[in-house]
Amino acid sequence: MIKGANRLQTVEEYYFSKKLRDINLMIASGKPVINLGIGSPDLQPPQKVLDALTESLSRSTAHKYQSYQGLPELREAMASFYKEHFKVSLSPKTEILPLIGSKEGIMHISMAYLNAGDHVLVPNPGYPTYSAVTKLLGAIPVFYDLKQENNWLPDIMRLEKSDLSKVKIMWISYPHMPTGAHADYKYFEELVAFAKRNDILLVNDNPYSFILNDTPKSILKVSGAKDVCLELNSLSKTFNMAGWRVGMVLGNSNHISNILKVKSNMDSGMFYGIQKGAVEALKCSKLWYLSLNSVYEQRRQLIWKLATALNCTYDEKATGLFVWAKIPEYFKSDEFTEVVLKNYQLFIAPGHIFGSNGEGYVRFSLCAHSEEIEEAIARIK
Ligand SMILES: Cc1ncc(COP(=O)(O)O)c(C=O)c1O
């Protein structure tokens, strides 16, 4: 029997990977399950993105290996996107690296900076990949609390009192997944100062800035942030291109070249047509964002109704692709979602999968048609 590596014992199969198998079995057995569990956009990418991909296929260079750093045109489009939407100037030559999705960036950044035994500050609740990748590399996740009473922001004073001597990376993600909470620029400044004082690489994972949010922010806008910060961004949610796998990491040239050292040993570039499509997406006008958000706005109204019908409460000021809702006190989040799945064939994500502070909450995705959400409400009533 060939044994897997020890690192396999540090992680479990991703919750959604397991759960979606069960859901698909339910569907195959005739149960009409409505999936409000995952954040995989169901809307179409912009038409000009699809056209660019189609047109690219006949180019003689389209099917060759592509540059490890991505097409210059793509990096330039990413730089213009950051300039236009975040007012952040970045050199397309040295401060931007296209990624095959921002999820892989979490691994590349971690591989570029972590040694076994290093500590990593990870949000609780937060995206499970930060801690999984940390553990796979033999480093140690140190969870920091995010609580509703603190608007889901880290308590910097409290963090500063802890032993930070082994901390190498701190992950943040604002607008926050799963809660939809925001950090303002004053708070970003405090976080950057904290990272500088403690020699920590602060990474803002920022895929949700354009969903139901009028004020997209980048940590890199803070003066001096490039010294200690990186930002991840993604086309998955903003342009409905989750399956295309296009993300980016942005920061100073030293950090970017360290990450490229890892990444160029792991993949051999991104398909040409995908890069051409991504360029078109990044050039979208305000109209794109308006039309995308008008759909999500309508869906969110319905999800709020659904949450209320399930006796859940939520913050109307939260943004992003999800509604994060508090469940009735007498339930654990797992019990609650199982009851909802069994009684109404409605799949929502239990909050505990994002960390212990997610217990008592559930996450509804906006990635379902209004008709499906209306059907879900009807089932409960
Ligand atoms: C907080 C957060 N970061 C990163 C990702 C990964 O996005 P991508 O599709 O760019 O890999 C997700 C996806 O759901 C996410 O929720």
| DSSP state for residue 174 in the 8-state scheme | S
The per-residue pLDDT for range 53-98, each reduced to its tens digit, is: 999 999 999 999 999 999 999 999 999 999 999 999 999 999 999 9
CA of 343 to the centre of ligand 1 (A): 30
69 lines ligand 1 (CB under 6 A): no
Q: How are the residues of the chain apportioned to helix, strand and coil, as percentages rounded to the nearest 5?
A: 45, 15, 40
Q: Which atom of ligand 1 is nearest to the CA of 247?
A: 10
The per-residue pLDDT for range 141-194, each reduced to its tens digit, is: 999 999 999 999 999 999 999 999 999 999 999 999 999 999 999 999 999 999
Q: Is 124 helix (H, G, I), strand (E, B) or coil?
A: strand
* 38/97 Cα distance (integer angstroms): 27
End-to-end CA distance of the chain: 53
173 lines ligand 1 (CB under 6 A): yes
- Looking at the chain, the whole-number percentage of residues with pLDDT higher than 90 is 98
What is the per-residue DSSP string for 89-111? ---TTTSEEEESSHHHHHHHHHH
* 281/212 Cα distance (integer angstroms): 18
Closest CA to 300 of 46, 36, 35, 20: 36
Handedness of CA 135, 139, 143, 144 (dihedral sign): negative
CA of 16 to the centre of ligand 1 (A): 13
* Overall average pLDDT of the 276-305 stretch: 98
177 lines ligand 1 (CB under 6 A): yes
Burial group, residue 80, by CB count within 10 angstroms (0-12, 13-18, 19+): middle
The per-residue pLDDT for range 91-123, each reduced to its tens digit, is: 999 999 999 999 999 999 999 999 999 999 999
Q: Closest residue (by CA) to atom 2 of ligand 1?
A: 127
Q: Closest residue (by CA) to atom 15 of ligand 1?
A: 127
The tokens 């980048």 sit on which residue?
Answer: 218
280 lines ligand 1 (CB under 6 A): no
39 lines ligand 1 (CB under 6 A): yes
Q: Which atom of ligand 1 is nearest to the CA of 104?
A: 11
> What pLDDT is stored for residue 13 in this prediction?
85
Q: Which atom of ligand 1 is nearest to the CA of 99?
A: 10
Closest CA to 332 of 347, 344, 350: 350
Report the C-alpha dihedral over residues 273, 279, 281, 286, rounded to 10 degrees: -160
Closest CA to 261 of 98, 112, 71, 92: 112
Q: Are 99 and 248 in contact (CB under 8 A)?
A: yes
